Amino acid sequence: MNVRRHLPERSPRMPTSPPVLTDLLARRTRFARSDAIRDILAAGAAPGVLSMAGGLPAPDTFPTEELARILDRVLTESAAAALQYSPTEGVPAMREVLARLASATGAPVTADRVLVTGGSQQGLDLVAGILLEEGDVVALDDPSYLGAVQSFRRAGARLLPIPSDADGMDTDALEERLTAGARCKVVYVVPHFHNPSGAVLSVHRRRHLAALAEKFGFVIVEDDPYADLAFDGTRQPSVDMLSERVVRLMSLSKTLCPGLRVGGLVAPASLVPELAGAKQCADLQTNTLGQHVLARLLADPGFLPGHVARLQDFYRGRAGHLSGLIESRLPWLDFERPRGGLFFWCTVTAPGIDSGSLARTALAEGVAVVPGAPFCIERDGSRNLRLSFATLTEAQLLSAVDRLSAAFEKASVALESHR
């Protein structure tokens, strides 16, 4: 039987353009409207552009041979489990691996306190979602990681920027704010090779932060994706050694690869069910196949120490090369040599030239860099630049620095012409 569908014909007066629905957006979505991260990645991906923008790890460091070998084993020996749905909290073997890694660098942890996430960024978003209501206060370094700023603002939090220096967050300044009446629900820190500043939270400040958490009752969110990228091979233990009020975000993106989107978090036992419930609403579970592969890879006791040592050598070499290039070719750029991680946090010393306009001119010259202002909350970042050295070869770093130098010359000429 033929069934004819009688649909109304489009009236000539009906609009043909798509409707604008932004007036229907939830209130919380308006707190964190920012395209900064997306724009950074898009600029660096343009053809012919040398990117010193995004914090991407070098593809040369990905353990592709090991992953290919283990992927073949997983699909041969346990394909049904690896390709099926898995528990929201994570594949048991992956939770066990993350618990062992966390225990090796912090307080002893059992797998029931681990939640496997779609990268540490999801962990950050889950924590913000279950802890923060509109108007709650989050203290964090100024400057701070863009992804954290966006997550907290989207949750409706008010940000309390705390000054920082090479030793990380100034916990004395934090204590002054708390004593004066500020009440934080969360204090967010990146303790090793902070993004963007490169700071390392000192032992004294870690202890002080833990003591403040106990006294004032806030939760420390410790975001630690760069700890294994210490150029001298040393790292401080997690802040959870000093307090039980810590949610620790664990990333595998910088040490292994970001594409599998497998990370984790360790939380106080009372928060794990709430975090798991929030994750179930978000995506049901993290990539099962990736969990099976990484659990096997990280269960090999001989793999990770050698791999991390190679990462440290690799990035130390590239950072050293860029340091020499900046010193010899960009005398108008001031910086401290990074001790680890993926970034240089630089200051433009030439009067009258701000980093935002310089970044735009640089992009026209074929090199992408990130101006400092998006990372800053109250601090003036208009003279700061963040440069990443991770993905460019030594020859490409030389070309990128030369293009940045040319951009500076053009910016200087334009400045003189307007005087």
pLDDT, tens digit (0-9, with 9 covering 90-100), for 59-84: 999 999 999 999 999 999 999 999 99
Is 13 inside any structural domain? no
Of 35-44, 102-111, 212-221, 397-406, which range is least confident? Answer: 35-44
Residue 345 has pLDDT above 60, yes or no: yes
pLDDT of 306-344, one tens digit each?
A: 999 999 999 999 999 999 999 999 999 999 999 999 999
Domain that holds residue 324: 34-55+305-417
Question: In the structure, what pLDDT confidence band is assigned to residue 146 with cuts at 50, 70 and 90?
Answer: very high
Domains identified in the chain, total number: 2
Where does a domain end: 248, 279, 300? 300
- Domain CATH number, residue 295: 3.40.640.10
If you average pLDDT over residues 118-142, what whole number do you get? 97
Residues 49 and 159 in one domain: no
Higher model confidence: residue 54 or residue 184? 184
Is 283 inside any structural domain? yes
Residues 278 and 329 in one domain: no
Residue 114 has pLDDT above 70, yes or no: yes
Q: Please give the structure tokens belonging to residue 314.
A: 């690799």
Is 263 inside any structural domain? yes
Residues 91 and 129 in one domain: yes
Residues 74 and 48 in one domain: no
Of 88-92, 108-112, 234-238, 255-259, which range is least confident? Answer: 234-238
Where does a domain end: 274, 300, 326? 300
State phi, psi for 226 to the nearest 5 degrees: -110, 0
Residues 146 and 234 in one domain: yes
Higher model confidence: residue 322 or residue 235? 322
Report helix, strand or coil for 194: coil
State phi, psi for 96 to the nearest 5 degrees: -65, -40
Is 39 inside any structural domain? yes
If you average pLDDT over residues 4-11, what whole number do you get? 56
Computed over every residue of the chain, the mean pLDDT equals 92
Residues 182 and 154 in one domain: yes
**CA dihedral sign of residues 203, 208, 211, 216:** negative
Residues 162 and 188 in one domain: yes
Residue 169 has pLDDT above 80, yes or no: yes
Residue 96 has pLDDT above 70, yes or no: yes
Please tell me the predicted confidence (pLDDT) of residue 33.
57
Single-letter code of the amino acid located at 122: Q
Question: In the structure, what pLDDT confidence band is assigned to residue 2 with cuts at 50, 70 and 90?
Answer: low
Residue 199 has pLDDT above 60, yes or no: yes
Percentage of the chain with pLDDT > 70?
Answer: 92
Question: In the structure, what pLDDT confidence band is assigned to residue 37 with cuts at 50, 70 and 90?
Answer: low
Where does a domain end: 300, 319, 337? 300
Is 16 inside any structural domain? no
Kindly report the CA angle at 394 between 392 and 400, in degrees rounded to 5?
60
Higher model confidence: residue 21 or residue 44? 21
Please tell me the predicted confidence (pLDDT) of residue 176.
98
Residue 109 has pLDDT above 60, yes or no: yes
Residues 80 and 145 in one domain: yes
Integer Cα distance of 368 and 94 in angstroms: 37
If you average pLDDT over residues 83-99, what whole number do you get? 98
Residues 73 and 214 in one domain: yes
Asked if residues 275 and 126 have their Cβ atoms less than 8 Å apart, the reply is: yes
Question: In the structure, what pLDDT confidence band is assigned to residue 13 with cuts at 50, 70 and 90?
Answer: low
